[in-house]
Amino acid sequence: HADGAACPVSDRARAFDPFTGAYQIDPAAALAWSRAEEPVFYSPETGYWVVSCYADVKAVFRDPLLFSPCNVLEKITPFPDEAMAVLASYGYAMNRTLVNEDEPAHTERRRVLMAHFLPANIEAHRDRVRVLTREKVDAFIAKGRADLVEEMLWEIPLTVALHFLGVPESDMARLREFSMAHTVNTWGRPSREDQIALAHEVGRFWQFAGEVLNRMRAEPHGQGWMHEAIRQNALHPDIVTDSYLHSMMMAIIVAAHETTAHAAANAIKLLLTDGAGWRAICEDAALIPNAVEECLRYAGSVVAWRRQLTSPATVGGTDLPAGAKLLIVMASANHDERQFQNADSFDIYRDNATDHLTFGYGAHQCMGKNLARLELRIILEELSRRLPHLRLAEQEFTYLPNTSFRGPDHLWVEWDVAANPAEGAE
């Protein structure tokens, strides 16, 4: 059965719940038992087959024909009719983008939309990211205490993303709210009551995306990736379709900003907890690029992704039927001892840190990975240079409950203002 209903389920598989508790706190640790004993298991709580080992997760990513990405943006918790009616009242019609498009349409579309992601175009954002980061640090450096999420980490990636996409800057706080609604709508387990409120918010986000698109269509020479997509839509309406444009406008705002904001927060939290890694990058900024990869491996911001089988297949020794839905947990794969020696130790010098699967792998691998890397490196360069005496404040970390996007809601840090390095010091 595609839904695994007839399969024997172990107690631990039955207890697996990616919406609360251990998985929210540390998804890799929560699946250590699975990596050791039951690398592929059916989870009755979600209706998904969970895949936890490196080789299996990579094999699934490697074959988008057998393992279709069609379910990547499906609501993991189905909405009741009432909430679906609310969505329909906004004309909501989220459809295929790139990330959930099947072959051959996906590769044709990706090819005509690739130019903007080439290295020279990414490099063009370097100075802007630097200036933005410096402005944010300037605003709090004399305070001695800050919530980095609130005071810099979500806004930098959102500003950079809008500029990269060519989307006019609008109410940033509202876009952040929209993005969180989209995340819970797609990967969360909202209560029935919350689903109604969420449906309104997601519906408004959908309409907002449509309005932005219309405004952008009126500027035929606009700069940015979405402007490029609009021009490709005019040239190849069968490859870059109208439905794609509207769906992508909504999905990309989230994909380009929440992922990167969470990655930065996870990285800083991890480096400051570790201490040694933080001190090392403060002394030698050349260590930052590999430290970023190790942070993405150890505590990535996209922790699980989805696929659906188009025919029966064996994954990790388990026979799965056509139609089976997979939750492939990259956070767990990234802690697999068979790929990473001492996988649970954080080591910014690790020589295969870039093997992590946080950006996915293969045909759909993240197109924005180098923009994200650029942002993460600059954020760490600026913070380690200007606030080397930064420390984590006493706090309880909380996470937006969902299967896939992970980063702390807040990240309180402290430092002794009297010990701030002199301004202008390099």
- Shortest distance in whole angstroms from residue 288 CB to ligand HEM: 15
Report phi then psi at 357, rounded to 5. -110, 20
Asked if residue 387 lies in contact with residue 141, where contact means CB atoms within 8 angstroms, the answer is yes
Among 205, 359, 402, 403, binds ligand HEM (CB under 6 A): 359
- Shortest distance in whole angstroms from residue 264 CB to ligand HEM: 8
Asked if residue 77 lies in contact with residue 322, where contact means CB atoms within 8 angstroms, the answer is no
Judged by beta carbon, residue 312 or residue 362, the one nearer ligand HEM is 362
166 is a contact residue toward ligand HEM (CB under 6 A): no
* Residue 353 CB-density burial (10 A; 0-12 exposed, 13-18 middle, 19+ buried): buried
**The tokens of 147 are what?**
């919530």
Beta bridge partners of 325: 308
- Shortest distance in whole angstroms from residue 164 CB to ligand HEM: 5
266 is a contact residue toward ligand HEM (CB under 6 A): no
365 is a contact residue toward ligand HEM (CB under 6 A): yes
Q: Which stretch binds ligand HEM (CB under 6 A): 43-51, 208-216, 296-304, 410-418?
A: 296-304
How far apart CA 183 and CA 164 sit, in angstroms, is: 21
Which residues ranging from 375 to 394 are in contact with ligand HEM (CB under 6 A)? none
Q: Which helix (H) or strand (E) holds 147?
A: strand 145-147
Tell me how many residues contact ligand HEM (CB under 6 A).
28
- Shortest distance in whole angstroms from residue 369 CB to ligand HEM: 6
Asked if residue 249 lies in contact with residue 274, where contact means CB atoms within 8 angstroms, the answer is no
Among 34, 52, 68, 301, binds ligand HEM (CB under 6 A): 301
Which residues ranging from 118 to 147 are in contact with ligand HEM (CB under 6 A)? none
Residue 79 has what DSSP assignment?
P
User: Strand order in 145-147's β-sheet?
Assistant: 145-147, 412-414, 391-392
- Shortest distance in whole angstroms from residue 232 CB to ligand HEM: 14
Q: Which stretch binds ligand HEM (CB under 6 A): 28-36, 40-48, 334-342, 361-369?
A: 361-369
Among 57, 59, 87, 256, binds ligand HEM (CB under 6 A): 256
* Kind of pairing between the strands at 48-51 and 325-328: parallel
Q: What is the DSSP string of 182-205?
A: HHHHHH----HHHHHHHHHHHHHH
Number of Cβ within 10 Å of residue 274's Cβ equals: 19
244 is a contact residue toward ligand HEM (CB under 6 A): no
Whole-angstrom CA distances from 334 to 42, 54, 140, 252 are 21, 7, 34, 25
Judged by beta carbon, residue 31 or residue 99, the one nearer ligand HEM is 99
Judged by beta carbon, residue 23 or residue 61, the one nearer ligand HEM is 61
300: which residues sit within 8 A by CB, 6+ positions away? 263, 266, 330, 331, 334, 356, 358, 406
Judged by beta carbon, residue 13 or residue 99, the one nearer ligand HEM is 99
Among 98, 180, 226, 291, binds ligand HEM (CB under 6 A): 98
How far apart CA 106 and CA 190 sit, in angstroms, is: 31
202 is a contact residue toward ligand HEM (CB under 6 A): no
Q: Which stretch binds ligand HEM (CB under 6 A): 192-200, 206-214, 339-347, 368-376?
A: 368-376
- Shortest distance in whole angstroms from residue 381 CB to ligand HEM: 16
Among 28, 367, 374, 380, binds ligand HEM (CB under 6 A): 367
Report phi then psi at 405, rounded to 5. -100, 125
Among 259, 339, 402, 403, binds ligand HEM (CB under 6 A): 259
Which residues ranging from 19 to 58 are in contact with ligand HEM (CB under 6 A)? none
Judged by beta carbon, residue 51 or residue 99, the one nearer ligand HEM is 99
276: which residues sit within 8 A by CB, 6+ positions away? none
- Shortest distance in whole angstroms from residue 322 CB to ligand HEM: 20
Q: Which stretch binds ligand HEM (CB under 6 A): 51-59, 186-194, 294-302, 332-340?
A: 294-302
* Kind of pairing between the strands at 391-392 and 67-68: unpaired
164 is a contact residue toward ligand HEM (CB under 6 A): yes
Specify whether the backbone of 246 is left (phi greater than 0), alpha (psi in -120 to 50) or beta: alpha
Contact positions toward ligand HEM, by CB under 6 A? 61, 69, 98-99, 110, 161, 164, 255-256, 259-260, 263, 300-302, 305, 358-362, 364-368, 371-372
